[in-house]
């Protein structure tokens, strides 16, 4: 059954807010890096503090019974364990990229991801891709090739970010758990990883997050910034087609790209050409989506008697 118009509109708004948050994430991670946080510690702190905020969300929304059901249903728990692995890979690659002057590569990954969602929609959910969709995918593929030439290697960081998040979206769309419950269980499953990372860091390079009140504040804020957009994403992803999610996701890498350029990352002519093809694909996709919506509205008006 299709979502009601009001629910669809709310899902669209939630998706927009979600991708704006993800778009400005590099600013948070760059600030934490300047404060002395390493990329592995940022990953660990995100996971651990996210548990606390996700727990509050579960209590406020009355989802404890659903949490118990998920934790006692092996199949659902297995799917969420897999989605946890995917999001940890995504977080790790993204945090490392934004704290090591590779924000442009991270943005490329999130430009690729919406087009992967289109292909996933075709293969997994039997969604249709028209000729304009294939043109968009083709333009993006050219962009990836040009990026590889510009870098002198395959854009592995971009590809890891793109494929891990596409896989996460597919799993969360299929798993039998609502947004709040699924996120809380994922955060619970992250606890061993977070504790393990912090113990290892404490024995090697040290841990910054507990050294003073300001650092506590940075650590806690990383958990809040993690939970809010993930809840919005998981909630909207279950109510919107993957193709619509893909359209919204072009907003986040655009903001990330701007941050990367503003922070002084190298933007060579070949990299500009690479992004130009990516942007062309995004523009074709967006234009085709708008045309389809207009055609649908016209069809509905024609069916309404005068």
pLDDT in tens, 260-273: 999 988 888 888 88
Per-residue pLDDT, averaged over 254-283, amounts to 86
In the structure, what pLDDT confidence band is assigned to residue 184 with cuts at 50, 70 and 90?
very high
Q: Which of 120, 156, 139 is nearest to 246 (CA)?
A: 120
Per-residue pLDDT, averaged over 165-191, amounts to 87
> Is the pLDDT assigned to residue 298 strictly greater than 80?
no
Question: Residue by residue, what is the 3-state secondary structure of the chain?
Answer: CCCCHHHHHHHHHHHHHHHHHHHHHHHHHHHHHHCCCCHHHHHHHHHHHHHHHHHHHHHHCCCHHHHHHHHCCHHHHHHHHHHHHHHHHHHHHHHHHHHCCCHHHHHHHHHHHHHHHHHHHHHCCCCCCCHHHHHHHHHHHHHHHHHHHHHCCCCHHHHHHHHHHHHHHHHHHHCCCCHHHHHHHHHHHHHHHHHHHHHHHHHCCCCCCCCCHHHHHHHHHHHHHHHHHHHHHHHHHCCCCHHHHHHHCCHHHHHHHHHHHHCCCCCCHHHHHHHHHHHHHHHHHHHHHHHHHHHHHHHHHHHCCC
Q: What's the confidence (pLDDT) of residue 176?
A: 83
> Is the pLDDT assigned to residue 1 strictly greater than 60?
no
Q: What does pTM read for this prediction? A: 0.81
Per-residue pLDDT, averaged over 176-192, amounts to 88
> Is the pLDDT assigned to residue 305 strictly greater than 60?
no
Instruction: Please state whether 266 falls in left (phi above 0), alpha (psi between -120 and 50) or beta.
Output: beta
Q: Which of 152, 26, 105 is nearest to 267 (CA)?
A: 105
Cα torsion angle, 290, 159, 19, 1, sign: positive
Q: Which of 178, 10, 197, 8 is nearest to 88 (CA)?
A: 197
In the structure, what pLDDT confidence band is assigned to residue 73 with cuts at 50, 70 and 90?
very high
Provide the 10 A C-beta neighbour count for residue 205. Answer: 11
Q: What's the confidence (pLDDT) of residue 266?
A: 85
Q: What is the pLDDT of residues 93-150, one digit of tens each?
A: 999 999 999 999 898 888 887 777 777 777 776 667 777 778 887 887 888 888 888 8
In the structure, what pLDDT confidence band is assigned to residue 301 with cuts at 50, 70 and 90?
low
Q: Which residue do the tokens 């596409």 mark?
A: 166
> Is the pLDDT assigned to residue 65 strictly greater than 80?
yes
CA distance 63 to 22: 26
Higher pLDDT, 210 or 218: 218
Task: Write the CA distances from 170 to 12, 82, 262, integer angstroms.
Answer: 18, 11, 33
Q: What is the pLDDT of residues 26-39, one digit of tens each?
A: 999 999 999 989 99
Cα dihedral value 193, 27, 140, 11, nearest 10: 80
Q: What's the confidence (pLDDT) of residue 296?
A: 63
Per-residue pLDDT, averaged over 239-268, amounts to 81
> Is the pLDDT assigned to residue 84 strictly greater than 90?
yes
Cα dihedral value 222, 228, 233, 239, nearest 10: 170
Q: What's the confidence (pLDDT) of residue 27?
A: 94
Q: What's the confidence (pLDDT) of residue 16?
A: 87
Q: What's the confidence (pLDDT) of residue 290?
A: 66
Per-residue pLDDT, averaged over 283-298, amounts to 69
Average model confidence (pLDDT) for the chain? 84
Q: Which residue do the tokens 């390493």 mark?
A: 38
Q: What's phi and psi for 304, nearest 5 deg?
A: -85, 120
CA distance 197 to 250: 32
């Amino acid at each position: 059954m299709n979502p009601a118009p009001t629910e669809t509109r709310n899902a669209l708004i939630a998706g927009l807010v979600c991708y704006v948050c993800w778009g400005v994430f590099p600013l948070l991670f760059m600030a934490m890096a300047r404060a002395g946080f390493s990329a592995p510690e940022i990953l660990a702190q995100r996971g651990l503090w996210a548990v606390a905020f996700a727990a509050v969300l579960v209590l406020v929304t009355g989802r404890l019974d659903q949490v118990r059901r998920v934790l006692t249903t092996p199949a659902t728990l297995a799917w969420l364990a897999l989605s946890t692995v995917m999001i940890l890979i995504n977080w790790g690659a993204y945090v490392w990229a934004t704290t090591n002057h590779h924000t442009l590569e991270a943005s490329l990954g999130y430009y690729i991801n919406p087009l992967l969602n289109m292909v996933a929609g075709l293969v997994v959910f039997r969604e249709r891709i028209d000729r304009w969709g294939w043109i968009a995918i083709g333009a993006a593929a050219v962009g990836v090739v040009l990026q590889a030439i510009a870098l002198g290697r395959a854009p592995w960081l971009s590809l890891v970010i793109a494929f891990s998040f596409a896989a996460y979206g597919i799993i969360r769309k299929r798993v039998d758990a609502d947004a709040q419950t699924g996120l809380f269980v994922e955060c619970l499953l992250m606890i061993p990883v977070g504790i393990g990372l912090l113990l290892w860091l404490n024995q090697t390079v040290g841990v910054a997050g507990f050294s003073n009140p300001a650092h506590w504040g940075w650590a806690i804020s990383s958990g809040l910034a993690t939970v809010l957009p993930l809840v919005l994403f998981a909630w909207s992803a279950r109510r919107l087609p993957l193709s619509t999610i893909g359209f919204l996701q072009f907003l986040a890498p655009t903001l990330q790209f701007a941050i990367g350029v503003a922070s002084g990352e190298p933007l060579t002519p070949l990299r500009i050409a690479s992004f130009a093809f990516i942007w062309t694909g995004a523009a074709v996709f967006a234009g085709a989506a708008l045309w389809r919506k207009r055609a649908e509205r016209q069809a509905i008006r024609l069916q309404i008697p005068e």
